[in-house]
Amino acid sequence: MPIQAADTERRIISGKVMEYGAIGSTSVGPVVFERGSIQIPNTAKIKLLAQHEPNNPIGRAQSFSTEGNFMYGNFKISNSSKGTDYLTLAAEDLVSGLSVGVEVIASLPKDNYLLVTAATLVEVSLVESPAFENATVTKVAASESEAEQEPTQPTTETESEAVVEQTPAAAIPEVETAPVVEASRPTITTPYNSQTVRHGITSSGELLRHKILATQGNEQSKLWLTAADDFSSAGLGFNPTQYLRDIVSTQGNFGRPAMECVDRQTLPASGMTINRPKFTTYPTVTVEAEGGAVDNTDAVSAYLTSTVSKYSGMQTLSIELLERSDPGFFDAITRELQNNYDKVTDAAVIAALTAGGTQASTVAATSAGIISYVSQAAPAAYLASSYFAKNYLAGSSQWTLLLGATDSTGRPIYNAGAPMNSGGVAAPTSAKGTVLGLDLYVDRNVVSTTIDESAFIISPEAFTVFESPTAYMSVNVVSNLQVQVAIYGYMATMVNVSGGIQRFNLT
């Protein structure tokens, strides 16, 4: 229920915390509270939390009252920086909902909701999206004195004096007599937190308290005692397992090295085919004698053609996993979709380089072979394309050769600390470096053994990648409340000059 007013000077907010007879979407599903069903043993002990987080209190209740079908509450916000932040958010209608957390004592299952006939108020929270849409802050006090002298509603009676009304509201079906009592149900509207301790016994005092409650029939205390006993047998009773938000993944940190070795352009906005004109015959210029005829040679062109391909992936999540797991999980899923999109598109570029490039002269899989490969292929790429070769794209086996390459005295060639006549730089801590004047890019999608196509020497202008921005799409599946999250994009590759791509050719 949204907050309607908030005062940052008096630090008091007032509003509706519950609507009796209305269906609310809570942490246990649709719930209806019977009028007067919520009991408040001690108003002074009711805390105002932020987002139902027990370790995040921002204030304390001053009074509660009931008028019509609504329960009203007044709350004093703490003079802490956190309290000030939430008071400001409430005043600006950014975090403007009130939501109760209760322990259900008695309830009745109905066709499409749970009817609560008796419950104890545990806390009230300031939230973004409350379970009951009409629970709102209706007033924020204007001054400290006014807050103390003019409470919005009369103070709630004490537990010994309060009379709980059991008459159902007009909108609620008549409650059967002798309702089934379901003791100690979980607190309603409190979201699950992956950091929550698996049982609430965190000290010897709590252990004694729950032993007493268990003897009185409290089922939750019984379960917690069992969990505590199980852990205590290994000496871990008061050291619960903590779950970290970071997820280990082996898909990231690689990027798209092949993409960095070639020309990249934005994919045209429409069409599934790209045509680029290319001269196949060029006009000539000749030397003629005085008065000689001008030689006439017509230029001839043809089209380079490339097909646009769609690259996509999807993850299906249950609504429970999406809404009740740590937000870091959803971030991790979208991150992994992006990582795999990068991996697949990078592999597609390597496949196109392999299919469209020119095989270089044969060389050995040695340090001397790499030197021979560069000395032959770089000039060949220039002669074929008229562009200089700039990039050396290699697989992990070629990286191994570079890291282990030594001169005749056993000194490293590419991995020396301060060489006097360096042949380049190849370090185990970076997938980038230099090889005989070419920029080195190590790519895990290039074949991992030193065979044909385990490296490419590339003039960037000889190969173009046309790519659209990636996009995410989220679709709700109504039949089972699943959510499908997809990533997709479009890409086309084009070999402009085959000779500008020199493929490694093993002897």
* pLDDT tens profile 437-453: 999 999 999 999 999 99
- In this predicted model, which residue has the larger pLDDT, 171 or 282? 282
What pLDDT is stored for residue 361 in this prediction?
95
Res. 52 pLDDT band, cuts 50 70 90: confident
Please list the alpha-helical segments (H only) found in 173-251: 204-215, 219-232
**CA atoms in the 13 A half-sphere facing the CB of 216:** 10
What pLDDT is stored for residue 387 in this prediction?
95
- In this predicted model, which residue has the larger pLDDT, 228 or 267? 267
CA angle 500/506/507 to nearest 5° reads: 125
- CA pair distance 262, 479, nearest whole angstrom: 46
CA distances from 412 to 375, 424, 438 (A): 20, 10, 18
- Using an 8 Å Cβ cutoff, are 491 and 344 in contact? no
Whether residue 206 has pLDDT greater than 60: yes
- Residue in the block written with tokens 């490419």: 456
Whether residue 173 has pLDDT greater than 60: no
Looking at the DSSP assignment, which residues form a beta bridge with residue 477?
482
When pLDDT is averaged across residues 49-62 and rounded to a whole number, the result is 89
Per-residue burial over 1-12, b if 16 or more Cβ lie within 10 Å, else e, is bbbbbbbeebbb
Amino acid, res. 214: A
Please list the alpha-helical segments (H only) found in 16-92: 81-91
Res. 395 pLDDT band, cuts 50 70 90: very high
Whether residue 292 has pLDDT greater than 90: no
Of 366, 374, 361, 364, nearest in space to 437 by CA? 374
Token code pair at residue 315: 């993850």
When pLDDT is averaged across residues 18-46 and rounded to a whole number, the result is 86
Res. 390 pLDDT band, cuts 50 70 90: very high
Whether residue 238 has pLDDT greater than 70: no
What pLDDT is stored for residue 2 in this prediction?
47
Amino acid, res. 335: R
What pLDDT is stored for residue 199 in this prediction?
59
For the ranges 112-116, 264-268, 287-291, the one whose mean pLDDT is highest:
264-268
pTM, rounded to two decimals: 0.53
Instruction: Tell which phi-psi region holds residue 483, choosing left (phi > 0), alpha (psi between -120 and 50) or beta.
Output: beta
Burial class (CB in 10 A: 0-12, 13-18, 19+), 75: buried
**Residue-averaged pLDDT of the chain:** 80
- CA pair distance 389, 374, nearest whole angstrom: 10
Of 354, 347, 361, nearest in space to 445 by CA? 347
Query: Tens digits of per-residue pLDDT, 329-349?
Result: 777 888 888 899 999 999 999
For the ranges 36-40, 119-123, 373-377, 473-477, the one whose mean pLDDT is highest:
373-377
- Using an 8 Å Cβ cutoff, are 87 and 11 in contact? yes
Whether residue 39 has pLDDT greater than 80: yes
- CA pair distance 361, 372, nearest whole angstrom: 9
The sign of the CA dihedral 16, 18, 21, 23 is positive
Of 281, 302, 337, nearest in space to 474 by CA? 337
Residue 17: count other Cβ atoms within 10 Å of its Cβ. Answer: 28
Res. 26 pLDDT band, cuts 50 70 90: confident
